[in-house]
Structure 1
Amino acid sequence: MPADISLFTVTLLCLAALAAGWIDAVVGGGGLLLLPALLVGLPHTPVAYVLGTNKSTAIVGTTAAAVTYVRKAPIDVRTALRIGLAAMGGSLAGAFFAAGINSQVLRPLIMGVLLGVLAFLLFRPAFGTAPAPSGPVSRRRVVTAVLVAGLGIGFYDGLIGPGTGAFLVVALTAILHMDLVSSSATAKVVNVCTNIGALTMFAVQGTVLWQLGALLALFNLVGGMVGARMALKRGAGFVRGVLVVVVVALLCKLAYDQWLAA
């Protein structure tokens, strides 16, 4: 635990972890809230420690949400794990190339993709709200999901990270024809896999504040369990609304980083 951190700051970080767990469980994107909160709350801490502590917190809420979904939602665990293992490999590759990427060039590209996703969600209000089709998914669609949602989005997660959950939900819904609740459930399993890979790397490097991470993880756990239950109870329409809000928030965050941040 950082020696200079105040009780007020710890309280705010706990609340941010709680809210981030809820957002992550419903649709993904909790890092948009928790990571900036950690950067502000720990201004003198090296960024590597902030990233490692963020992962040690997020993995607990994501795992709790994944368990809740697997127990109560229709989810193909075998397909989810296949995509998750591919995503773990993609995230490791993304992390390897992260140091050589110019963020000033990459951010506008991601913003363009997000604008396309937002337009798609707004102009196709029925997207992801129809019940998932019964029966096994074709091998071709599973392979496409492994390549796009696994390797592709996993690579993005290692390269940059914010919004990974939202991208996974949209990709899984479009490729595997899932409803938004089922795709959010599958995305949680995939996120657990990528978080395990990332946290392992941070732990080996010794860049995790374990005491602070454990405290925040408790609040993230509660948020994740509550969020998963709300998504299951309220259905695809609720998940879709949260997804639109998260995509807009990510767009605003990237635009601020690109043009307004000092």
Structure 2
Amino acid sequence: MDVTLTIILVCCSAFFLAGIIDAIAGGGGLITVPSLLLCGVPAHFALGTGKLASCLGTLSAVFSFARNRFLVTRILPLGFLSSALGAVFGSWSALQIDSALMGKIMVLMLPVGLVLMLASGGVRLDADEALSEKHLWLKVCSLGALIGAYDGFFGPGAGSFFLIGLHVLLRLDLVRASANSKIFNLASNFGSVCTFGSAGTVLYTLAIPCAIASIIGNQIGARLAMRVGVRIVRMMLFAVLSLLLATLVYRFFIAGPA
């Protein structure tokens, strides 16, 4: 398809806003995927193009959190590998089948995530206490593989679920969970980009400017998350999850899959 200046400007604006949201609570795909589709980008190209731009934007947020020592390095190698492999499988599946079933599963998972957030809201442990739990490797690998597969298959909200998983399963506080979820999300984006790129479903002329916009948005969002702390992360997380739930209920249970 022809990528016009209007398409670039519209999509860059969407990716800038999505970058801010992603850096704080995840869920920026709720903005980027619809904006690409609205501009006439075919579904598989929308997924591939969006993943490349989001991957570069997430990488910039990782550097910001790393400089401020919010990353828990013990969990990251396994988290990165499992998330990337899960995303490769999910992206390959997206190229083969329809995403309606995965969307319906996500609709059912969102209320569970909200309940878990409420139930664990009072628990805040530092990194050493949180990582003393048994079966840490199993929790990290399961979290990365399952959500990574969803991210590669469909995507929107994956950052929120990485955040919730780290907060609930590993008992990290929300700011630290938000920071480390970026590594998991970066890995899943990377796995997806490799898969969609090998299938030729990435519009590089659109992805690069959108990536720049996403990087700027992620930098702003990362600074906001670190300055204002847990309160804004919790508010953004609830807002993103509520929007995701409403969007998916309409898409998969009212309007039906396209």
Equivalent of residue 47 in structure 1, options 32, 43, 48: 43
State the distance in 1 between where 2:137 and 2:227 align. 31
Equivalent of residue 121 in structure 2, options 111, 121, 126: 126
SS of the counterpart of 1:140? coil
State the distance in 1 between where 2:130 and 2:108 align. 34
State the distance in 1 between where 2:97 and 2:213 align. 34
Amino acid at match of 1:120: L
Unmatched runs of 5 consecutive residues or more in structure 1 = none
Give the number of aligned pairs. Answer: 256
Structure 2 residue aligned with 1:138: 132
Structure 1 residue aligned with 2:89: 93
Unmatched runs of 5 consecutive residues or more in structure 2 = none
Please, what TM-score do these two structures have when normalized by structure 1? Answer: 0.88
Equivalent of residue 150 in structure 2, options 146, 156, 161: 156
SS of the counterpart of 1:177? coil
Q: Deviations over 1:71-97 (max 9, x none)?
A: 114322241221110111112222344
Structure 2 residue aligned with 1:232: 226
8 Å contact kept, 1:148–1:171: no
State the distance in 2 between where 1:232 and 1:87 align. 24
Structure 2 residue aligned with 1:28: 26
Alpha-carbon spacing, 1:228–1:91, altered in 2? closer, same or farther (3 Å): same
Which segment drifts farther, 182-191 or 76-85? Answer: 76-85
Alpha-carbon spacing, 1:179–1:200, altered in 2? closer, same or farther (3 Å): same
Alpha-carbon spacing, 1:139–1:9, altered in 2? closer, same or farther (3 Å): same
Give the C-alpha shift of residue 156 in structure 1.
Answer: 1.8
Give the C-alpha shift of residue 98 in structure 1.
Answer: 3.8
Give the C-alpha shift of residue 234 in structure 1.
Answer: 0.8
Structure 2 residue aligned with 1:223: 217
Q: Are residue 19 (structure 1) and residue 17 (structure 2) matched? A: yes
Give the C-alpha shift of residue 115 in structure 1.
Answer: 1.1
Amino acid at match of 1:37: S
8 Å contact kept, 2:89–2:149: yes
Alpha-carbon spacing, 1:171–1:234, altered in 2? closer, same or farther (3 Å): same
State the distance in 1 between where 2:229 and 2:60 align. 19
Q: Deviations over 1:126-169 (max 9, x none)?
A: 356x3535457136342133233111211222232221111110
Structure 2 residue aligned with 1:3: 2
Aligned-CA RMSD value:
2.2
Give the C-alpha shift of residue 35 in structure 1.
Answer: 0.9
Give the C-alpha shift of residue 102 in structure 1.
Answer: 5.9
Q: Are residue 256 (structure 1) and residue 250 (structure 2) matched? A: yes
Equivalent of residue 55 in structure 2, options 38, 55, 59: 59
State the distance in 1 between where 2:177 and 2:230 align. 10
Structure 1 residue aligned with 2:177: 183
Q: Deviations over 1:41-80 (max 9, x none)?
A: 1x1x432222211112101110000111111143222412
State the distance in 2 between where 1:247 and 1:24 align. 12
Alpha-carbon spacing, 1:180–1:140, altered in 2? closer, same or farther (3 Å): same
8 Å contact kept, 1:70–1:77: no
State the distance in 2 between where 1:61 and 1:75 align. 17
Amino acid at match of 2:12: C
Amino acid at match of 2:55: I
Alpha-carbon spacing, 1:23–1:127, altered in 2? closer, same or farther (3 Å): farther
- The percentage of aligned residue pairs carrying the same residue is 31
